[in-house]
Structure 1
Amino acid sequence: MARRRQAVTIKHVAADAGVSLQTVSRVINNEPNVRPAMKARVQAAINKLGYVPSIAAQRMSGSRSYLILAINDRDRTIAEWQARQGNDWVDQMLLGGMLKSAEHGYRMIFELIDTHSDHVERELGAALAALQPDGVILTPPHSENAQITRLLSDRRIPFARIGSQARGPGIAMTLGDANSARLATEHLIALGHRRIGFIAGPDDYSLSQWRIDGWCAAMAGAGLATAGYCERGDFGHASGVTATDRLLAHPLPPTAIIASSDQMALAVLDVAKARGMAVPRDLSLISFDNTPVVRFTRPRLCAIDQPIAGAFSRAVELLIRATGDEQSELPVELASELVVRESTAPPPADDRG
């Protein structure tokens, strides 16, 4: 039976180079107060022994933990995982955040916190105490939870607020929601649609209103009515069914619908099919999220693709350089794009303006 190879530790590197553990730690952390000759000797030992720095070794300098903490809403995340509906928000946030963290010698830790709980401060406080992160990434609705942002600010922990435009502590970042809704609406207007319905998300997410604002702006710019053409859902399929039924019950029903999530867009497809309507012949459809499922529907769905991975990658970069005193004046905005597929077309001839 082969013997398991002993792991190389920082102690082995220090012994081989003939230096202290603290000197090895300073080299690993690329600190400036190390003589070039000493740095070369330590690096030679690292290369010779095949040593891979651990977070514990990096922490020896005492100034950083080399951890970034990303927080998502517990109830919604667990519900989506259990439903197995193909939402890849978490996948994308981990993709962008973990890869960028690794580039800088960091690790990103993912935690679920219930933002509606009376114990949110205790839950987050426990995570902060255990991990001592160098920065925290908040996602909606956490990014606009005053208890959470105040706690982080009071502890001078740098944090990024994804999906927030508000001024105040932390780094506000948006995915261009208003612009995205405007882009989708203008695409439909260019195809000749004049009655465009909008299914918004819940009002506890500020981005839901931003998307409504973008839709309204595009409609107003084309001189088109919005009254009676906006319904709210909760991003889930069932709420999308209810919203679609209401929109199609309008005396002059929409010839196109923009849904604020892929699950609500799937609901539009289901309702249309049940009513004997074909997409896009009778009803054009655009979705938000662009999760994998929209590429396997019939027809494949035209969708707004938001740079979730890019946002988390950017957040990690900003947090590594942050000091804890950041105050957002203007949010960092990342642009989304419209991916055109087969679910949009000119409206039926009788409904063209």
Structure 2
Amino acid sequence: MARRRNSVTIREVAEDAGVSLQTVSRVINDEPNVRQQMRERVQSSIDRLGYVPSLAAQRMSGSRSYLILAINDRERTLADWRERSGTDWVDQMLLGGTLTCQKHGYRMIVELVDTHADHVERELGATVSALQPDGVILTPPHSENPQITRLLAQRNIPFARIGSVEDGPGIRLTMGDEEAAFTAASRLIDLGHTKIGMIAGPEAYSLSGWRIAGWRRALEANGLPHEGLCERGDFGYDSGTKAARALMRRHPDLTAIIGSSDQMTLAALEVARDRGLDVPRDISLISFDNTPIVRFSQPPLTAVDQPIAETVSIAVEHLINASKAPPVSDVIDVAAGLVERASTGPAPKSG
């Protein structure tokens, strides 16, 4: 009967390779001072025997935990899951992070933390103490919470800040928000639209401002107005409904809207229908996020595709190599893409 892979011990690998236990441990933990020939011999025995290193054993053998911790906003994440609203931020985060971690023999764990709670330091401190991660990935708005970044810096834990460009400790990554909004607005201008509204996200997120800046830059570059054409929401459907109604009531000649989330843009689609407008004949819509749900709306939404998986993957690579490479000082900007679907079309002819 075939033996289970996890029943193979490190001692059997050492005997098969004809080396000491310490040498096998150094190879498993990718430590220096192991000759390449010896490393290959040990790896050959590992592959032949089907040895799978125990995470607990790895952690005991050195200073590393082989864990990367990703922290996401508790309130918003739980609301999305309970409502089954079709958002896939956590899915994409796991896709990029888990695969990259596995490639290096690491594991990724996701924890939900309420960034607004008074006890955030105690809550996060307990999590960090229990897991002792080798690196932490912070997503908005945690990436701009000084309580969180200060705690991690004080404990000398490498961390990545997605959606943050402020000076300070941590690897800074963005997902091309300003340029993506510029591209979306420019595409609408190419289609002949001259009155383009924006439903922006909340001020608590820096990326909301970046997207406004990209939208405004495209309009200004083409001599088009932007005053009074921006409303804010909280990324949720209800706030998108309120913002879209305000824009369309104030500007009856509006022919296009860019929404800073799929939920807010889906709300704008429904508001347009309520007003007897056809999408895209009367008004065009472009969304941010490109979550699965926008492919099944009627019409399917043109959307900015955020590179969540790629960004998290890059963050993981830098965190794992933090002890081997100098710290990254520049902001890492991962470009987003625009996926065109049926919600955008030529501007309606006046008269």
Normalising by the residue count of structure 1, what TM-score does the alignment of the two structures yield?
0.93
- Structure 2 unaligned runs (5+)? none
Query: What is the DSSP-based 3-state SS (H/G/I as helix, E as strand, rest coil) of the residue aligned with 1:77?
Result: helix
CA pair 331-47 structure 1, distance change in 2 beyond 3 A: closer
CA pair 43-183 structure 1, distance change in 2 beyond 3 A: closer
1:235 maps to 2:239: no
Deviation at residue 307 of structure 1 after TM alignment: 0.6
Whole-angstrom distance in 1 between the partners of 2:258 and 2:38? 61
Query: What is the DSSP-based 3-state SS (H/G/I as helix, E as strand, rest coil) of the residue aligned with 2:24?
Result: helix
Match of 1:67, as an amino acid? L
Partner of residue 270, structure 1: 270
Whole-angstrom distance in 2 between the partners of 1:304 and 1:136? 27
Deviation at residue 50 of structure 1 after TM alignment: 1.4
Partner of residue 68, structure 1: 68
Whole-angstrom distance in 1 between the partners of 2:215 and 2:35? 59
Query: What is the DSSP-based 3-state SS (H/G/I as helix, E as strand, rest coil) of the residue aligned with 1:224?
Result: coil
Contact between 1:288 and 1:303, CA under 8 Å: does it hold in 2? yes
CA pair 334-43 structure 1, distance change in 2 beyond 3 A: closer
CA pair 167-73 structure 1, distance change in 2 beyond 3 A: same
Whole-angstrom distance in 1 between the partners of 2:2 and 2:9? 18
Deviation at residue 63 of structure 1 after TM alignment: 2.7
Match of 1:81, as an amino acid? W
Whole-angstrom distance in 2 between the partners of 1:36 and 1:214? 50
The superposition leaves residues 143-166 of structure 1 with CA deviations (integer Å, 9 ceiling, x where unpaired) of 000011111111111111000111
Match of 1:260, as an amino acid? S
Partner of residue 286, structure 1: 286
Partner of residue 157, structure 1: 157
Whole-angstrom distance in 2 between the partners of 1:149 and 1:324? 22
Partner of residue 140, structure 1: 140
Whole-angstrom distance in 2 between the partners of 1:228 and 1:36? 65
Partner of residue 261, structure 2: 261
Deviation at residue 57 of structure 1 after TM alignment: 3.0
Match of 1:229, as an amino acid? L
The superposition leaves residues 153-192 of structure 1 with CA deviations (integer Å, 9 ceiling, x where unpaired) of 1111111100011111001110011111111001111111
Whole-angstrom distance in 1 between the partners of 2:31 and 2:25? 9
Partner of residue 209, structure 1: 209
CA pair 326-79 structure 1, distance change in 2 beyond 3 A: farther
Deviation at residue 227 of structure 1 after TM alignment: 1.4
Whole-angstrom distance in 2 between the partners of 1:305 and 1:203? 22
Whole-angstrom distance in 1 between the partners of 2:37 and 2:209? 58
CA pair 114-59 structure 1, distance change in 2 beyond 3 A: same
Partner of residue 177, structure 1: 177
1:92 maps to 2:92: yes
Deviation at residue 329 of structure 1 after TM alignment: 4.3
Deviation at residue 207 of structure 1 after TM alignment: 0.5
Whole-angstrom distance in 2 between the partners of 1:8 and 1:327? 38
Partner of residue 303, structure 1: 303
Deviation at residue 226 of structure 1 after TM alignment: 1.1
Whole-angstrom distance in 1 between the partners of 2:230 and 2:291? 23
Whole-angstrom distance in 1 between the partners of 2:332 and 2:35? 39
Deviation at residue 325 of structure 1 after TM alignment: 11
Match of 1:125, as an amino acid? G
Root-mean-square deviation (CA), in Å?
A: 2.1
Normalising by the residue count of structure 2, what TM-score does the alignment of the two structures yield?
0.94
Contact between 1:158 and 1:324, CA under 8 Å: does it hold in 2? no
Deviating 4+ runs (over 6 angstroms): 324-328
Q: After the TM superposition, which of the residue ranges 4-13 and 170-179 deviates more from structure 2?
A: 4-13
Deviation at residue 44 of structure 1 after TM alignment: 4.3
Whole-angstrom distance in 1 between the partners of 2:316 and 2:32? 22
Deviation at residue 60 of structure 1 after TM alignment: 3.6
Identity of aligned residues (%): 64
The superposition leaves residues 258-299 of structure 1 with CA deviations (integer Å, 9 ceiling, x where unpaired) of 000011111011111111111001110000001111111111
Query: What is the DSSP-based 3-state SS (H/G/I as helix, E as strand, rest coil) of the residue aligned with 2:254?
Result: coil
Deviation at residue 4 of structure 1 after TM alignment: 8.5
Q: After the TM superposition, which of the residue ranges 29-38 and 122-131 deviates more from structure 2?
A: 29-38
Query: What is the DSSP-based 3-state SS (H/G/I as helix, E as strand, rest coil) of the residue aligned with 2:250?
Result: coil
The superposition leaves residues 41-65 of structure 1 with CA deviations (integer Å, 9 ceiling, x where unpaired) of 5334423421112222322431311
Whole-angstrom distance in 1 between the partners of 2:262 and 2:271? 14
Match of 2:46, as an amino acid? I
Contact between 1:96 and 1:313, CA under 8 Å: does it hold in 2? yes
Query: What is the DSSP-based 3-state SS (H/G/I as helix, E as strand, rest coil) of the residue aligned with 2:350?
Result: helix
Whole-angstrom distance in 1 between the partners of 2:129 and 2:80? 28
Partner of residue 322, structure 2: 322
Superposed, which structure 2 residues align to 1:117-132 within 5 Å?
117-132=117-132
Deviation at residue 15 of structure 1 after TM alignment: 5.0
Partner of residue 339, structure 1: 339
Whole-angstrom distance in 1 between the partners of 2:281 and 2:30? 61
Whole-angstrom distance in 1 between the partners of 2:329 and 2:273? 47
Query: What is the DSSP-based 3-state SS (H/G/I as helix, E as strand, rest coil) of the residue aligned with 2:125?
Result: helix
Match of 2:330, as an amino acid? L
Match of 2:248, as an amino acid? L
Aligned length: 350
